[in-house]
Amino acid sequence: MDDVDSEALADAAYGIFEILLNKGLLARGSPLFARVEGGIDFEEDFRAIFAAFEQDYLPLAAALLARFGSQDVIYDMLKRGEGVAPSRTTQMYWIVEDNPSAGEVDVTGEQVGKWLIFSEAADVEALWQKVRDATVAGELGISSKVSTARPNPDSRDDRKVIYVYTKDWSDEADVMRVRERLRALGVTGRIGYKRNIETFAGEYAVRGKKVTYYSV
């Protein structure tokens, strides 16, 4: 396996492990962000979840250990904020937080849309915490995500972006309810709402062309 394939496998392995880690920690009492921000030791839970991952996905676990060297390195990286703080997350392009009351979340449906909140990198940490906590509390939409410190070839500038998803772009009352809650969280400037159908069609903002469905 060449270097490119090895790196791609390690990237995929980390993404899958992070999903399982978050689910496993939540099932054991509290999510990753609560443990990291609260200074709570979770090494025992981490190792138990990694052992299950290794048993079920041995080639993926091997790819992670080949990249990082040991479980200790991965755990220390997580404790420092990987997967929690945008500025400290370098393994994934996005940190995602779902609304637990929304059931099985699918943000890829054509009825789904999202508010786009652009932020300077220096300001995104505090804003993301507010949006994340409101999402988990069921006060916003079905899911939210924030771009991270990992260089993204699709980024158009140095700003970070937070997506706040709602389940149905045609439900204007719900879309605007989420907008007002974002305003209460400090997002007072004009922001745009984009439907997935425009994203899937590859439509992005250019001079003289509107691709946002709502803008308030």
pLDDT of residue 198: 87
Whole-angstrom Cα distance, residue 91 to residue 160? 16
Helices assigned H by DSSP within 38-70: 43-56, 58-68
Q: How far is CA 131 from CA 40, 44, 92, 148, in A?
A: 22, 29, 19, 15
Domain ranges of the chain: 3-84, 94-215
Sheet of strand 113-119, all strands in order from the earlier edge strand to the far edge: 94-98, 143-147, 160-166, 113-119, 192-195, 214-215
pLDDT of residue 207: 46
pLDDT of residue 155: 87
pLDDT of residue 201: 77
Cβ neighbourhood burial of 54 (10 Å; 0-12, 13-18, 19+)? middle
Architecture category of domain 94-215 in CATH: 2-Layer Sandwich (3.30)
Q: Tokens representing 119?
A: 């932020």
Mean pLDDT, 10 residues at a time, the chain of 216 residues: 75 97 96 97 98 97 98 98 98 96 90 97 97 98 97 91 97 98 97 91 57 89
Helix (H, G, I), strand (E, B) or coil at 63: helix
pLDDT of residue 165: 98
Q: Which residues are within 8 A (CB) of 10 and not within 5 positions of it... i.e. 6 or more apart?
A: 63, 64, 66, 67
pLDDT of residue 200: 81
